[in-house]
Amino acid sequence: MAFYFMRIHAKINHVLRQIKQILFSVFRQSDSDEIPLAPVKIGNKWGYIDKKGKVVIELQFDEVGSFQEGLAGIKLGGKDGYINKTGKTAISPQFDIADDFQEGLARIKLGNKWGFIDKNGNVVINPQFDGVEDFREGLAMIYLGGKFGYIDKNGKRVIEPQLEWAGSFQEGLAGFLLDGKCGYIDKNGNIAINPQFDYVEVFQEGLAGIELGGKRGYIDKNGKIAIKPQFDAAWDFQEGLARIKLDDKWGYIDKTGKIAINPQFEYAKDFQEGLAAIELGNKWGYIDKSGDIVINPQFHLAKDFQEGLAAIKLGNKWGYIDKSGNIAINPQFDLAWGFN
């Protein structure tokens, strides 16, 4: 009897050890998913670094994407696949084109047709479309036979391809084109804002950029003019401000249309993490939302801040700075993207 209980005890310990190993593996994977990584290129190969500048995924790929939802697209031997943040192959390179994951699915191209896969690499919507966009708010724009429509995540056509042009859904509405004018539809395909504009952008923070008579302005979700068309160029609102162009200079407006930062820059990017990259005197630096220069223009190129760091170019090499303008990772890369 004692021997029987010893055997049972040994089996229980064995099972507990297995459970412990599984849990350790799961949490270790979960931890690695949380570590921000940035794609960098040296020579002809791409890899990934962490925020200390350490190469954590060796430079070995012909092309790469940023990590989205735990996976990043890579190209090897002329085919696209995916890796996880440990650098292991998650989905073998097999696609002609494979894009970032959005809402659990990624668009892929095989031959001349587009479809979608899940994170296990299973084809969940067969390649059958001439073009597709990422899933946004549960729907993806499709292009088939010269017309645009939308599908859901089961591949069901919820809005038949019948539109001259259509954009992705954002904040419940999507831009579309009819008889040379742009308006917006809802997710049922009903016209929400009548076609009347020469050009439209997506809704962002409650407003959407539109063009009328060669000038850019903004409308609200009722289709009413919120900021009259008056700008030479105007982009989406980010963190409460939108960049605009007047008389060949870039500045920023608030949601009332009031100039928040006077147009004075040769170029300006969106605000990210409280700062925006601007070009002045052919050099790049950063401003805060008051318009004050917080990092003097000194770089040949500069990208948005992500995870507290921004990629910058000095001379012919890319590195990273922190929000104080200090070099966080020495310029040493031929190309560098943001952290995700």
C-alpha distances (whole Å) from 129 to each of 134, 139, 144, 199, 284 are 13, 15, 6, 25, 41
C-alpha distances (whole Å) from 301 to each of 199, 269, 339 are 30, 12, 17
Alpha-carbon span 128 to 126, nearest angstrom: 6
Model confidence pLDDT, tens digit, residues 51-65: 999 999 999 999 999
Provide, rounded to the nearest whole percent, the portion of the chain with pLDDT above 90: 90
Question: What would the mean pLDDT of 39-57 be, rounded to a whole number?
Answer: 98
pLDDT of residue 34: 83
The answer to whether the CB of 98 falls within 8 A of the CB of 73 is: yes
Model confidence pLDDT, tens digit, residues 119-135: 999 999 999 999 999 99
Alpha-carbon span 242 to 231, nearest angstrom: 11
Question: What would the mean pLDDT of 323-337 be, rounded to a whole number?
Answer: 98
Question: What would the mean pLDDT of 250-269 be, rounded to a whole number?
Answer: 98
More confident residue, 241 or 30: 241
Question: What would the mean pLDDT of 57-85 be, rounded to a whole number?
Answer: 98
The letter for the amino acid at 298 is Q
Question: What would the mean pLDDT of 154-165 be, rounded to a whole number?
Answer: 98
DSSP string, 242-302: EEEEETTEEEEE-TTS-EEEEEEESEE---BTTBEEEEETTEEEEE-TTS-EEEEEEESEE
Model confidence pLDDT, tens digit, residues 216-237: 999 999 999 999 999 999 999 9
Alpha-carbon span 224 to 276, nearest angstrom: 29
User: Token pair 């896969």 is at which residue?
Assistant: 117
DSSP string, 102-149: ETTEEEEEETTEEEEE-TTS-EEEEEEESEE---BTTBEEEEETTEEE
pLDDT of residue 31: 56
More confident residue, 171 or 22: 171
More confident residue, 11 or 160: 160
Residue 13 has pLDDT above 80, yes or no: no
Q: How confident is the model at residue 32 (pLDDT cuts 50, 70, 90)?
A: low
Alpha-carbon span 107 to 155, nearest angstrom: 12
pLDDT of residue 165: 97
Average pLDDT of the residues of the chain: 93
Return the minimum-mean-pLDDT range out of 6-20, 36-50, 86-100, 277-291. Answer: 6-20
Q: How confident is the model at residue 4 (pLDDT cuts 50, 70, 90)?
A: very low
Alpha-carbon span 313 to 232, nearest angstrom: 29
Alpha-carbon span 238 to 235, nearest angstrom: 9
Q: How confident is the model at residue 143 (pLDDT cuts 50, 70, 90)?
A: very high
> Which of these, 126, 178, 120, lies nearest to 151 by C-alpha position?
126
Residue 17 has pLDDT above 90, yes or no: no
Residue 8 has pLDDT above 60, yes or no: no
Q: How confident is the model at residue 266 (pLDDT cuts 50, 70, 90)?
A: very high
Alpha-carbon span 289 to 239, nearest angstrom: 9
More confident residue, 323 or 27: 323
Q: Is 311 left (phi over 0), alpha (psi -120 to 50) or beta?
A: beta
Coil vs helix vs strand at 21 = helix
